[in-house]
Structure 1
């Protein structure tokens, strides 16, 4: 039986290492943050936090 190689990436919103999420242009967003972003209304205070984090979408991806 072959062992699946797990690839963890750093979420561009919460900065946690996760193995499941989406890539939006060059920004990885974990599933938890994706759900929060979708459910946050524009009048919520957290909405502005997400906007600030999503501005990083235009930065070049850093490999370490």
Structure 2
């Protein structure tokens, strides 16, 4: 069989983070328009809490 050298897969981390940011912005704008700035603040605090819990769990297992 012919030996082929494998190339590394491209790193799409930056592109994924930018797309997550763009999606969060438009979701926040829709929530702001529908329910007001208070709902956006609560949603942001909730997401911050989830990210902090995820970070804490990953540090415990890692």
Shorter-chain TM-score bucket reads 0.3 to 0.5
Bigger helix fraction = 2
The TM-score with structure 2 as length reference comes to: 0.33
RCO greater where, 1 or 2, for CA within 8 Å and sep 6 or more? 1
Instruction: Decide which structure has the larger Cα Rg and report it.
Output: 2
